[in-house]
Amino acid sequence: MPGAPPVVAGLVNVRGTLVTVVEGWRALGLPPLSPTPSPEAGTTGSTIILELGKAEGAANGGQQGHGGGAAGRKLIGFTVDEVMDMLAGGETTLEDRQGLPGIDPTLVRAVGRRDGELFIVLDVAALLGPILTS
């Protein structure tokens, strides 16, 4: 998109609302996803729609931009390599963030465990704050 930061992939229309889509790999400082589709998924990734509520909306000063709706609410698309599972908050045990090798600790909100597997809960406002204000 002309004039947009390199991390912005474009816009999508979600039920009549324009939503900015951010390339997740760029936002996280990772190498790009291989353009070769995976045999299992048949695609090169997915876009998840994040709803930043009032608490996260502070990252954009509570302003509505692309994907704005109710005051303090913002929708943003975030590309991911794969969606492996969706968890409801009550299904897991979350712990305060810890120092994890190779991960900026300011981007980690918490660390969780489910069925013995470790996962990271990103601090979306910290990750996307600079993008939302640009």
Give this prediction's pTM. 0.67
Helix and strand counts by DSSP (H, E) for the chain? 3, 7
What is d(CA 127, CA 10) in angstroms, rounded to the nearest whole number? 18
Of residues 54 and 79, which shows the higher confidence score?
A: 79
Beta strand residue intervals within the chain, DSSP E: 8-14, 17-22, 46-52, 74-80, 93-96, 108-114, 117-122
Q: Which of 61, 86, 64 is nearest to 74 (CA)?
A: 64
What is d(CA 58, CA 18) in angstroms, rounded to the nearest whole number? 20
pLDDT digits (tens, 9 = 90+) for 25-43: 888 888 876 665 555 655 5
pLDDT value at residue 60: 37
Confidence of residue 57 (pLDDT cuts 50, 70, 90): very low
